[in-house]
C-alpha cells in the first residue's frame, strides 16, 4: 500500500471517530460540603457543675438546761415561719419553781406591810419621846425638875430613835427580799418561755436532731437546722480560663439530675479565689424557688456571658492562623478565600462580624484540599456531617 493510501485511511478513521469523541460529557467539579451563613441570635455560655446548698443555714438549739422534750411540731422538709413553735419542753419543774417564787413575793409583801406598821409606830414613839425630852430640858433649865428626870427623858428618846431605825431597817430588808423573789420569778418566767423552741426565721427545715424524751442543754448542739427563707442555690465550679467571663447578675440555667425541668437562676457571687490544686474557681448561683431543689444534690448548668444577633456559621468553617481568621466561600461555583473577623463563640457556632453576608455558602471544614479559585460543586452539609467534622 502506498503512503498516500495509508494517509487517506487514517483521515477517514479520524473523521469517523470525531462525532463519538464530541459526545463524551465534561468531568464535573468535585463536590464539597458547605454551610449557609445565617443571621440569628448567638449566646455565649460558660458551663458549670456543682452541688445545691442553702444560701444561709440557721442552727436552732435550746437556751435552757435540763428540760425534757415532750412534743415535736416540725420535721425535715417542713416550711416554717419566724416564731413558729418547733418543739416543746416539759415545764412541770419550772411551774413548781414559779409557784414558790410567787409565794415568796406574797410573803415579802406581807413583811413589807408589817414593817411599815412598825415604822409608823416607832416614828410616833420617837416623836413623842423627843418632844418630852425638849420639855424636860426647858423645865430643868428653870430648876423645876431634877437631873434624874432629864436623864430618863434622854434615855427614852434614844431608845425610841433606835427602835425607829430598826423598824426602817426591817422594811428595807423586806423590800430586798421581795426584789429578790421578783427577780427569781422573772428568771423562771424567761426559762418557761424558752420551753417553746421557735423558728428564728422563715425557712425550710433541713434536718432535725431533736428526739422525744431527750433532755436538752444549752451546750448540747443543734436541734433543728433551717435554710433561711428556704433559698437553695448552686455552689458551682468553673475552670479558671472561663472564670473571668462570669459576672455577678448574669443569667443562668441549671439542670437537675433525673430529667427535671431547667431552673432559672442568676449569678449571686463570684469567688476571688482559684483552687491551686484543681485550678477551678467557685461561683454561687441563686435559683428560683422550686420543690425540685434538694440540698446536697448534684447539678449542672450554664451561665450566659454574652448575647448577640449576627451572622453565624459552624466553628469548623473558620481557619485561624497567626491570629488571622479566614473562611472559604463558594461563589459562582468557585472557591473564594476571605479574611473575616469573629465575634461570639457558642458551642459549635461562631459569629462572623465582618466580610460575610447571610445566605452565602461557606466550606464547612476549613483547611481542606481546595484552594482559592478552584471549581467545586457545593453540597449542603447535614447535621451528622457537621457533627463529624466538629469532632475531628
Predicted confidence at residue 21, as pLDDT, reads 44
Percent of the chain with pLDDT over 90: 53
The answer, yes or no, to whether residue 140 has pLDDT greater than 90, is no
Predicted confidence at residue 1, as pLDDT, reads 46
The answer, yes or no, to whether residue 2 has pLDDT greater than 60, is no
Q: Which of 21-35, 42-56, 105-119, 335-349 is least confident?
A: 21-35
Predicted confidence at residue 149, as pLDDT, reads 67
pLDDT digits (tens, 9 = 90+) for 83-131: 999 999 998 888 888 888 888 888 888 877 877 777 777 677 778 767 7
Grid cell for residue 23: 459526545
The answer, yes or no, to whether residue 176 has pLDDT greater than 90, is no
Query: Under CATH, which architecture does the 31-42+308-391 domain have?
Result: Beta Barrel (2.40)
Predicted confidence at residue 133, as pLDDT, reads 64
The answer, yes or no, to whether residue 253 has pLDDT greater than 80, is yes
The answer, yes or no, to whether residue 36 has pLDDT greater than 80, is yes
How many CB atoms lie under 10 A from the CB of residue 21?
A: 8
Of the pLDDT bands very low, low, confident and very high (cuts 50, 70, 90), residue 132 is: low
Residue 13 backbone zone (phi > 0: left; psi -120 to 50: alpha; other: beta): alpha
Q: Which of 90-99, 222-231, 337-346 is least confident?
A: 90-99
Q: How many CA atoms lie within 13 A of 52 on its CB side?
A: 26
Predicted confidence at residue 7, as pLDDT, reads 42
Residues 6+ apart with CB under 8 A from 175: 108, 112
**68 secondary structure, DSSP code:** B
The answer, yes or no, to whether residue 190 has pLDDT greater than 90, is no
Strand partners, 321: 324
The answer, yes or no, to whether residue 161 has pLDDT greater than 80, is no
Grid cell for residue 161: 430613835
Predicted confidence at residue 89, as pLDDT, reads 92
Sequence spans of domains, the chain: 31-42+308-391, 46-55+231-306, 64-90+195-226, 92-191
Q: What is the CATH number of domain 46-55+231-306?
A: 2.40.30.170
Q: Which CATH class is domain 64-90+195-226?
A: mainly beta
d(CA 149, CA 154): 9
Q: Which of 37-51, 182-196, 221-235 is least confident?
A: 182-196
Strand partners, 152: none
Of the pLDDT bands very low, low, confident and very high (cuts 50, 70, 90), residue 15 is: very low
Predicted confidence at residue 255, as pLDDT, reads 92
- Across the beta sheet with 69-72, the strand order is 69-72, 85-89, 196-198
Percent of the chain with pLDDT over 70: 85
d(CA 61, CA 224): 7
d(CA 86, CA 210): 10
Predicted confidence at residue 12, as pLDDT, reads 43
Predicted confidence at residue 351, as pLDDT, reads 96
Of the pLDDT bands very low, low, confident and very high (cuts 50, 70, 90), residue 313 is: very high
Under 8 Å between Cβ of 106 and 119: no
Predicted confidence at residue 3, as pLDDT, reads 42
Amino acid at each position: 500500500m502506498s503512503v498516500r493510501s495509508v494517509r487517506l485511511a487514517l483521515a477517514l478513521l479520524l473523521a469517523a471517530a470525531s462525532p463519538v469523541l464530541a459526545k463524551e460529557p465534561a468531568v464535573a467539579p468535585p463536590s464539597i460540603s458547605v454551610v449557609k451563613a445565617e443571621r440569628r441570635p448567638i449566646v455565649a455560655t460558660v458551663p458549670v457543675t456543682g452541688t445545691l446548698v442553702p444560701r444561709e443555714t440557721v442552727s436552732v438549739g435550746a437556751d435552757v438546761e435540763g428540760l425534757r422534750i415532750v412534743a415535736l411540731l416540725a420535721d425535715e422538709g417542713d416550711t416554717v415561719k419566724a416564731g413558729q413553735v418547733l418543739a416543746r419542753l416539759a415545764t412541770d419543774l419550772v411551774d413548781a419553781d414559779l409557784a414558790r417564787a410567787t409565794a415568796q413575793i406574797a410573803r415579802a409583801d406581807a413583811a413589807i406591810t408589817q414593817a411599815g406598821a412598825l415604822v409608823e409606830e416607832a416614828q410616833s414613839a420617837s416623836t413623842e419621846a423627843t418632844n418630852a425630852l425638849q420639855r424636860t430640858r426647858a423645865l430643868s433649865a428653870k430648876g423645876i425638875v431634877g437631873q434624874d428626870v432629864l436623864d430618863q427623858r434622854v434615855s427614852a428618846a434614844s431608845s425610841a430613835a433606835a427602835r425607829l431605825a430598826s423598824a426602817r431597817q426591817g422594811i428595807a430588808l423586806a423590800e430586798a427580799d421581795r426584789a429578790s423573789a421578783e427577780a427569781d420569778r422573772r428568771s423562771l418566767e424567761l426559762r418557761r418561755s424558752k420551753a417553746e423552741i421557735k423558728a428564728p426565721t422563715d425557712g425550710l427545715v433541713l434536718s432535725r436532731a431533736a428526739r422525744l424524751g431527750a433532755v436538752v442543754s444549752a451546750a448540747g448542739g443543734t436541734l433543728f437546722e433551717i435554710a433561711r427563707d428556704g433559698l437553695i442555690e448552686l455552689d458551682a465550679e468553673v475552670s479558671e480560663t472561663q472564670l473571668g467571663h462570669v459576672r455577678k447578675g448574669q443569667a443562668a440555667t441549671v439542670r437537675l439530675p433525673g430529667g427535671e425541668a431547667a431552673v432559672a437562676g442568676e449569678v449571686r457571687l463570684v469567688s476571688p479565689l482559684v483552687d491551686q490544686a484543681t485550678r477551678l474557681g467557685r461561683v454561687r448561683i441563686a435559683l428560683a424557688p422550686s420543690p425540685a431543689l434538694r440540698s446536697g444534690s448534684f447539678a449542672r448548668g450554664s451561665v450566659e456571658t454574652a448575647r448577640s444577633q449576627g451572622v453565624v456559621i459552624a466553628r469548623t468553617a473558620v481557619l485561624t492562623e497567626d491570629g488571622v481568621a479566614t473562611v472559604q466561600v463558594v461563589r459562582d461555583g468557585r472557591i473564594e478565600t476571605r479574611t473575616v473577623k469573629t465575634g461570639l463563640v457558642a458551642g459549635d457556632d461562631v459569629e462572623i462580624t465582618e466580610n460575610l453576608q447571610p445566605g452565602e455558602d461557606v466550606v464547612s471544614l476549613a483547611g481542606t484540599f481546595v484552594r482559592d479559585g478552584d471549581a467545586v460543586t457545593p453540597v449542603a452539609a447535614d447535621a451528622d456531617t457537621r457533627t463529624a467534622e466538629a469532632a475531628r
